[in-house]
Amino acid sequence: MDELKVVAFIVALVGGAVGAAAVMTWFERRMLGIWQDRLGPNRIGPFGIVLVAADMLKLLGKHDWIPPFADRPVFVLAPTAIVIAMMLGFAVVPFAPDLVVIDMNVGLLFFLAMTSLAVYSVLLGGLASNNKYALLGGLRSAAQMVSYEVFMGLSLMGVVMLAGSFSLPTIVEAQSQLWFAITQPLGLFVFIIAGLAESHRLPFDLPEAEHELTAGFHTEYGGMKFAMFMLGEYLGLMLISCMITTLFLGGWLGPVLPPIVWFFLKTFVVILFFILLRAAIPRPRYDQLMSLGWKVMLPITLINLMLTGAIALWQSGGMP
Amino acid sequence: MLALLESLRSQLVTMGRVLGHTFTRSETVQYPEQKPYLAPRYRGRIVLTKDPDGEERCVACNLCAVACPVGCIALQQGVNDDGRWHAEFFRINFSRCIMCGMCEEACPTYAIQLTPDFEMCEYERTSLVYEKEHLLIDGPGKYHDYNFYRVSGLEIAGKQKGQAQNEAEPINVKSLLP
Ligand code: SF4
Ligand code: SF4
């Protein structure tokens, strides 16, 4: 792709991602409604879709208030960090054979780095709010993300081993015979849970846990700054879904339909699955979350890593 | 380990059940267009009823005001020329009322009754203070035949002592006859 095309693609990607995140707030509420025997938003426009615009207007019209006790510059900048980090994460997602902003040979590591950066947003937001609920939310998110990061990375090493590359398009190509979801079921399982924790969505939304922490790290946020946090969260969800599609579900590969359609179809199904998780699974206690991470997920990941390594070695005939 | 697998199984079953709800009907009642059925004993807006003869039932005994847990009933008693008691004013502050129905239970005359109407929003809080003329209705409400003065011993014009239902003639304490 020449320069101009890349720029156009980036603009389209940013606009598309933000638009999709906005539509997803509506879509998620509708789906939650269906699964919980309610209707969900259905008043404005067909199926209530204009609610997205109404929400946007409301958030724009809100008083942009900064608490006098807050740490001003950090408070203002914190919400942007998560959006920027998640947006950067999209740069390495291969939507179709040639449709990727940048094909890095360490694409996977770049993605992991960007999701780790997103934690700063939550942490600094909580810290700068100068409010005990926000601080507790920030603290929690730091602990949660740091511990789930460990095996989020490790769970992908199996995929990397099998594909023999950190570059995402290469990983997708490696799945032309068999999806990694079948050869790496444990890796997929751990990655889904770690991805949930990483994008701190229900059931792992302990940083905001409204029943105990009012709204956690964004207690003091309102209006557009709050919207930024939400945007970041939904972008994170989409990024994780894109990654699951790319790494485990064969990315753009599929018969008949054009590659990009396959990619979005798969991503859509994964997003639906995440919404279903939100509708069905209750939030664990904080200590349960931590012990689940270190006592269950980490061993599973390590076992998976060892098995994959052994099998890969055996297949390549490297074993004596 | 076993407990872990069991909890995993339970979560998966939960997800399956919730997914099954894709095809169940939603419970939502689309309220302004679609009204839910409210039973006659639903506790909504309060009314003051009249007895079958068309007279006010309330005898201003203040029992409802005392029973009210939030103290939103205010009234004052007066006596008619015919001996009946009535409320000089009767005021319910619906911005405080919690529709608990205690007043209805306390009332000895079935005068105060709750109705299945709850649509009483106002733009001004003071509009939620209902006076007697707002509360009074023309019918007997849920109790069609009850007439307090016909069963009580109080003497009013047209009904002497001993003339109420199931009431014995008063004993003449000055007579020696049995
Ligand atoms: S409404 Fe009933 S309880 Fe209240 S003052 Fe009148 S008669 Fe007494
Ligand atoms: S319904 Fe309850 S709160 Fe309302 S006036 Fe009667 S006793 Fe008071």
Average pLDDT (A217-231) is 81
d(CA A41, CA A83): 26
Nearest CA in chain A to B32: A43
CB A137, CB A213: distance < 8 Å:
yes
Calculate helix-pair angle for A259-280, B2-20, nearest 10 degrees: 110
Q: Which amino acid is at A177?
A: Q
User: For chain A, what is the domain count?
Assistant: 1
Task: Note whether residue A320 is domain-resident.
Answer: no
Task: Note whether residue A285 is domain-resident.
Answer: yes
Q: Would you state the pLDDT for residue B62?
A: 92
Task: Note whether residue A174 is domain-resident.
Answer: yes
pLDDT digits (tens, 9 = 90+) for B4-20: 888 889 888 988 888 88
CB A41, CB A48: distance < 8 Å:
yes
d(CA A202, CA A191): 15
Residue among A38, A279, A296 minimizing CB distance to B27 = A38
CB-based pocket (< 6 A), ligand 1: B 58-64, 75, 106-107, 109, 111-112
Which token pair is B165? 């239902």
Residue range(s) defining the domain that contains residue A134: 3-315
Task: Note whether residue A120 is domain-resident.
Answer: yes
Give the distance (Å) from ligand 1 centre to CA of residue B111.
6
Q: Would you state the pLDDT for residue B71?
A: 92
pTM of the model as a whole: 0.77
Partners of B93 in beta bridges: B129
Measure the CA angle with vertex A290, ends A285 and A294; round to 5°.
Answer: 150
Which token pair is B141? 């409400």
Task: Note whether residue A135 is domain-resident.
Answer: yes
Q: Whose structure tokens read 């960090």?
A: A81
| ipTM score assigned to the predicted complex | 0.71
Question: Which among B134, B142, B153, B130 is positioned nearest to B59, based on CA atoms?
Answer: B153
Task: Note whether residue A76 is domain-resident.
Answer: yes
d(CA A289, CA A148): 10
pLDDT digits (tens, 9 = 90+) for A89-122: 888 888 877 777 777 788 888 888 888 888 888 8
Tell me which chain B residues have a C-beta less than 8 angstroms from the C-beta of A279.
18
Question: Which among A16, A20, A18, A23 is positioned nearest to A83, based on CA atoms?
Answer: A18
Residue B57: count of CB within 10 angstroms of its CB: 25
